[in-house]
Each structure stands twice: as structure tokens, then as C-alpha cells.
Structure 1
């Protein structure tokens, strides 16, 4: 029984690895299309979230929170509308918002570096704050390039994950072929 599971296991690792590598290459080769596809996916998620919030608001149990659920549902539906019908603008806008968030986060990290009494070295916390602020400025200053950069980064991560799964699957297959006397 265990041998059958292991056989399926290495095959699925190889399949996952190949899919990851293909996705990674496509995301790197076509980063604009990847950013638009991600914005579309986010738009459909926002659509489902909005419909879910409005549905939940109509339930009898939602007495005190009904107004908030309706407001959240309408906001999600408006965001979904823009994301689905204008995904390029949505990708740029989300990158711009990410940039602002990174800047604010970096400022708070810098302040935290001077107000914390943890053992973590202050220079390490300041370095992290500087990276957050720098990346935030880069995203906010040029959100189009930031969206493309995020897509390329996602592609590189998928490529590395795919390669890892592929190597793990091939290694497991080699161990399975060696028989039970092979050491892990």
C-alpha cells in the first residue's frame, strides 16, 4: 500500500514541478499578461466576495451588521467591476496601493527600531525598514513597472518551486527504483 502511494507521490511531484516551471516561464516571458491575469483573478474574487457579503446581509441572523455587510458588498462589487472591465488599470492601481503600504510600513518599522527593547539588532530592523520604503517608493513612482516586476518575481518563484518539485519527484522515483534497501 505504501509503495503505491509513493509511486503516485513522485508522479504528482513531477507534474507539479512541470506546471510550476511552465507557469514561471510564461510569467517571465509575458509579465504584462500575467499582471493583467492576476488583476482579473482578483476581480472575480472581489465579485464573489461582494455577492457573498450582500447575501449574508439579507440573512435574518445579520441584524446588527447588516449595514456594514451591504457597504462591504457594494464596495467589493464596484472594485470587481473595475478589475474585470479594466484589469490593466487595476493592476497598476493595486501596485500603487502596495507601494504606499510599503512606505507606511517602512516608516513604522523605522520608528519601531528605535522604540523596541527586543534583542534584535537595531541596524537589522532599520535595514528592513529601508528596503520596505525603497520598494514602496519604486512601486508608487512607477506602478506599471512595479506590476510587471511583481509578475516577473512571481514567475521566478514559480520557476524555483517547479524546479524543486521536479528534483524531489525525480529523486523519489530514483529511490523507489532502487528498492527497499535504498537509504533515505
Structure 2
């Protein structure tokens, strides 16, 4: 079981970690470009999703849901068009939608904290989570441009830390591999 981690190969873990750290540094240094790139990636995903939905709408087995598939496909294509040709606006719009979602989520958490019988999670923890969700949502809605930059920097920090974990894991795997090879070589043929 513990050999599964080492089966990936320590070099691959280090390479993945270095790539993650480079991405993290780039996202922190250029947050606007990172947000634009993420909006573009989402735009291309929406484009392919829209094309797939439209293709599915005209398959023979899509009789009852054809209208919905066409509608969703067209919406995806319109969203893709805006995200690809105006990624900055798309990133701000997605941040605004995320802000609204956080506010709604916080309100539901707040209501749930007082209406449900709590068995495992303390009420104060749910209230803290609700307050954090609402506060973050309000900040996102009030200034989506700054929120986009904040999200990009946050992703950069996470990628940087994740990359460091992979590098350290790879180096630990290398050390363990060297240790096991040394101990099996010292035993020699019996």
C-alpha cells in the first residue's frame, strides 16, 4: 500500500511540484492575466459544451428534451462568445455570480443554524461560516474586479503550496527509495 505513492516516481512528483509552484508564482505576479486565462479556458469549455448540447439535441433519442438541449446549447454558445472575446468582463461576471451564490449560501446556513437540530456541528461554527460566506459574497458583488484579482492570487498561493508539498513528497519518496535500496543491498544474497 505505501509503495503506491512511490510508484508514481519521485521525479514525476518533483516535476509536478515545480510546475505547480511556477504556476502559483505566475498567478501571484500576474493576477489579471491569470483571471483572463481562466475566463478564456472557461469560455472554450462552454463553447465545446454548447456544441455538444446542440449535437445531442438533434440525435433521435432526444425527442422530449430537444428544446431544452437547444436552449442550453445556445446559452452556452452565447456565454462562450462573451468569455472568449471579452474575458475580463466574463471574469467579473463570474465573480459577481459567485458573490451572489455566497450570499445566498450564507443566508441558508444562517437559517439552518437556527432551524435544524444540531448533533455534531456547533451552532457558533455554522454561524461563523454563514457570516464569512455573506461577507465574502458582499465583497465580491461590491467590487468584482478586485475579487477577480483576489481569486487569482488565492489560486496562486494554493498552487504554490500544493507544488511545495509535491516537491517535498517527491524528495521524501526519493529518500525512502534510496533507503530501501541500501538496506536490501546490504543484506546481499543469502
State TM-score, norm by structure 2.
Answer: 0.91
How many aligned positions are there?
A: 179
- Deviation, 1:179, is 2.9
Larger Rg: 2
Change (3 A) 1:127 1:178: same
Residue 154 (str. 1) matches residue 146 (str. 2):
no
Q: Could you tell me how far apart the structure 1 residues matched to 2:180 and 2:124 are?
A: 52
Aligned equivalent of 1:175: 176
Cα displacement string for residues 113-136 of structure 1 (whole angstroms, at most 9, x for unaligned residues): 000102221111110000000000
Residue 99 (str. 1) matches residue 99 (str. 2):
yes
Cα displacement string for residues 1-50 of structure 1 (whole angstroms, at most 9, x for unaligned residues): xx9x9476111100000000000000000000000000000000000000
Shifted more, 138-147 versus 172-181: the winner is 172-181
Change (3 A) 1:133 1:8: closer
Q: Could you tell me how far apart the structure 2 residues matched to 1:6 and 1:127 are?
A: 40
Aligned equivalent of 1:18: 18
Cα displacement string for residues 125-167 of structure 1 (whole angstroms, at most 9, x for unaligned residues): 1100000000001100000000000000000000010000000
Q: Could you tell me how far apart the structure 2 residues matched to 1:7 and 1:65 are?
A: 46
- Deviation, 1:177, is 1.7
Q: Tell me how large the CA RMSD over aligned residues is.
A: 1.5
**Residues 7 and 173, structure 1, Cα contact 8 Å, conserved in 2:** no
Aligned equivalent of 1:79: 79
Residue 59 (str. 1) matches residue 59 (str. 2):
yes
Change (3 A) 1:69 1:8: closer
Shifted more, 114-123 versus 84-93: the winner is 114-123
Residue 136 (str. 1) matches residue 152 (str. 2):
no
SS of the residue corresponding to residue 62 of structure 2 reads coil
Aligned equivalent of 1:31: 31
SS of the residue corresponding to residue 9 of structure 2 reads helix
Q: Could you tell me how far apart the structure 2 residues matched to 1:163 and 1:6 are?
A: 17
Cα displacement string for residues 35-84 of structure 1 (whole angstroms, at most 9, x for unaligned residues): 00000000000000000000000100000000000000000000000000
